[in-house]
Structure 1
């Protein structure tokens, strides 16, 4: 049996390198050699034991760049191509998939969460989940997935040039939403409770207005995005939505959304959930990175080797306010 190296979260608080069997080939799938892996908030939650319904042990990692070890049958991918992996494995037959919305497939399985992911040397995934990343670096390709989540939310919210957008929450997803709202031509404001996170975000969002949450702002916006992961903030966000505006929830948390109906109704507000991303969002992000509109170097604040990740991921999990995106070089 051929073995490969993998980083495994054995149980909450226990993260180690192991030898695992190399994945077997499957019809309609393609083998990818993993190059770099972005560490997501979900990965920190898995390590900390805060991800519900997760089965341990788990190979984490769903923000992935790699090289195709073979050509795809449809001719899109050649052997040796730099690729991005869409980590959302879908059924293709449920109501959402049939409607062209596989991002909210009823039977979705996400690499690194519901099934083993890409913190390893090789992975085998469906051909349709592999996108060419010509013109990107190995590192920038590993950041496409989290940026696609923000780009998807911006598209859901119908952000337009000349509009005003507020993003609450200056983590990676919020920063991604702010970036792509600005790319659409909106005037962007970013709010957070952490001065350190806002300082990091300011280096990425040079033209955005940065506000520390304190006294409540009186201004309202055409589109408001919540990326806090905090149910109190999500419930409070409606106050910032202008009449005729949209409220886009990028966060998902346990809890009940609660708005005053008169406030919601008089605005004729539109409420959007935004889940994962679609192929068109990945392609949009790849194109914007390729044309230089995404400051990927400023986003990648931390990096580690495969071997040192065993030490560094637990440290970063305890101090996430000092980083935007950490990358593992496989």
Structure 2
């Protein structure tokens, strides 16, 4: 065989033949969107057109939310097909909270981070006890745009996408905070976005005359949620959740639960309060999780 694997890349060397062609197809077939099964028989003579068609098909993955730092191209009938390296495709948009780890292909030189965003906090709960209070809205997660980091082929890249905050019981002082989002290169943290805090529950300020405060936004660029309101034996809406450029905070509502945030990194809405009405405690809305969008280049 004239191929080997190293640093998330397929390396071809020496004379290019049908085995090499078939191995490139096998290399990318782990990706469900790679619908190319044009395997060649062992005695088939690979042409420059075969290689160009295969290269063009791999290139289409770039338009299907994958990042590939290097794919061979420019094969012509007159030129010999030289030994080369084919880089693996890596999904470039991370929208679900959790840990993601991959190895940079050989030709990688820069990680271009288009977006990185932490999770938003939940809204605080409103309570009918005493004079009543509605809950504060959740703060939005911190975020940054368009940051580049130098990397090398074979570097280990880990991205943790933070979750959104969940509402809490009336006996907690505030709604649940979101989780941070951060990036590590070769196990060294290089950037972190801190999460939005949960808005205050009514119990945090009951009988003090103060409004429940909105949750503080994460760093950098996060926004603070809207304050809840003291009710004075009236009905009051909760505070709005804080927005992000990619998410909308939960809005004030009379529902039994505060409005959930939508999109990425936004805060949940605070729960309302209604005088002498059930359920007596109106939990806040959920915050939304973080987000990352990146690309790898030579």
TM-score range, shorter chain: under 0.3
Greater Cα radius of gyration, structure 1 or 2: 2
Higher-helix-fraction structure: 1
Higher-strand-fraction structure: 1
Question: TM-score, normalization: structure 1?
Answer: 0.23
- Structure scoring higher RCO (CA < 8 A, sep ≥ 6) equals 2
